[in-house]
Amino acid sequence: MKKIDLKNKNFTMKIIAAFFAFIMWTYVMSEVNPRIVKQIPNVKVEILNEESLERNNLTLMDISDDTITVEVRGRRNDVINIKPSDITAKIDLKGYRAGINKVPIKISDLYNAEIVDSSPELLTVNIDKLIEKQMPISVELIGEPIDGYAAGEIDVNPSEVLVKGPRSIVNNVDKVRANVNIDGIQNDIKTTVPMKLLNGDGEEISRLEKDPNTVNVEVSILKLKEVNVEPVIKGNPLVNHEITNIEIEPKKVTIKGREDVLEGVETIKTKPIDISYESDDLDKQVELDLPEGIHLVGDKELKINVKISKNEKNKLEFEKSDIKAKNMDEGLKFKLAESEDDKGISISITALEDIMKDLGKNDFELFIDLKDISEGEHTVDIEVKTPEGVILESIDPKSLKIVVEVKDESEVEGEGEGSEDNNTQDENTEQ
């Protein structure tokens, strides 16, 4: 092996030249192409193993950011040209569960620069469970049929839909609605329409699957008719009480049905209203007893008022002189028989309390009917004309003994001058 001669002049010069070359290289690298740090924003984050969530009935709902800022360090000439697309940033969702998760970001090394930092270092991801929910389908009718007609029964097939998706969204679905336009139609309609998923505020919800996506709807169009309401009363009030009035509101309702079904229907009865043993007025809501194939239009409440009053008894006293004669021959007169005493006449009556409170003796007329009666002594029945709503229970005595006589000439002439002819003669009883 050849020995290096340190005393060789040429060798020494080479060492010195190499030293100065190193110094120069260091100067150039530090001054001309120095090491720098650069922030690179908008680096896209790739999501790995998202399909593994689906295999576990999970789904990615939200991520705090899909880009990050990466800080790199290196020679200026190397670093200055690094673009966001040159950096690979990833998060791996494998093994994560439902809920809010903090997932670290992994950044691949660069061959010509060093990864110093990233902002953020963790991404917040929201993972939700995938669920299925069977929900009923409701139909909303848009518009109105032609005048005199209304929508009837609605048939939906299928009646339910399977809603699939993230639990937080599925549970926010308030109703599944299908819209059907019936504006201006007169005949039944059959159609297939899509469905909308709505939240509690009526806003449409997306990002969910429906099975099926459409629904078959049949809407019957029925004839309208206005009819009277007939109250049906069941039972009887308390003893000595009566129904005095029945009022129902509204008195008329609008019904709908097939024309052949509505033909001949003029009234609709209520379901029986039981008033058994009632003593006070009755106010209550009632339902209609709708025949098959007939439907009520609208949702008006029917109210009935049954007025119930108590029957009261009373006794009124009259003088025999209060009795009048009717239908007696103009040439006759009558008087009480000598066997009749001075005892008055008593009548017992029954009436509702509202009527009874206003009754007086002047509301009654006591009379005897002397039609076709002849001269002599007779026993005649006492009759009473009562006001409407008053029942005559008894009269005591029931009859009178009277004597019928022929009027003398002066009585006949006096009556002829002072009164007009008429077929009925009313005279007070002579004592």
d(CA 255, CA 268): 9
Count the Cβ atoms, other than its own, within 10 Å of residue 4: 8
Strands 175-181 and 106-107 come out as: unpaired
Q: What is the token pair recorded at 312? A: 């009261």
d(CA 266, CA 248): 16
The backbone torsions φ and ψ at residue 139, rounded to the nearest 5 degrees and listed phi first, read -115, 130
Task: Transcribe 353-422 into DSSP letters.
Answer: HHHHTT--GGG-EEEEE-TT--SEEEEEE-EEE--TT-EEEEEES-EEEEEEEEPPHHHHHHHHHHS---
The CA distances from residue 134 to 61, 120, 205, 317, 332, in Å, are: 22, 41, 16, 82, 99
Strands 114-119 and 427-428 come out as: unpaired
Q: What is the token pair recorded at 98? A: 């439902």
Cβ–Cβ under 8 Å, residues 231 and 246:
yes
Cβ–Cβ under 8 Å, residues 116 and 36:
no
The CA distances from residue 373 to 270, 349, 382, 416, in Å, are: 56, 29, 15, 21
Q: Which residues contact 50 (CB under 8 A, 6 or more apart)?
A: 60, 93
d(CA 74, CA 43): 18
User: Which strand (E) or helix (H) includes residue 169?
Assistant: helix 167-170
User: Which strand (E) or helix (H) includes residue 170?
Assistant: helix 167-170
Spell out the domains of the chain, with CATH numbers in brackets. 35-120 (2.170.120.30), 130-223 (2.170.120.40), 231-311 (2.170.120.40), 319-406 (2.170.120.30)
Kindly report each contact of residues 360-364 with a partner whose C-beta sits within 8 Å and lies 24 or more positions away, as own/partner. Answer: 361/316, 361/318, 363/387, 363/390, 364/316, 364/318
CA 160, 165, 166: angle at the middle one, nearest 5? 135
Count the Cβ atoms, other than its own, within 10 Å of residue 256: 22
Which amino acid does the sequence have at 10? Answer: N
d(CA 70, CA 41): 6
Return per-residue pLDDT of the chain as tens, 431 residues: 555 555 556 666 767 766 666 666 555 555 567 888 999 999 999 999 999 998 999 999 999 989 999 999 998 888 888 999 999 999 999 999 999 999 999 999 888 889 999 999 999 999 999 999 999 999 999 999 999 999 988 999 999 999 999 999 999 999 999 999 999 998 999 999 999 999 999 999 988 999 999 999 999 999 999 999 999 999 999 888 888 889 999 999 999 999 888 888 999 999 999 999 988 889 999 999 999 989 998 888 899 999 988 888 899 999 888 889 898 888 888 888 877 777 889 999 998 888 888 888 899 999 999 988 888 888 999 999 999 889 899 999 998 888 888 888 766 665 555 444 444 445 555 55
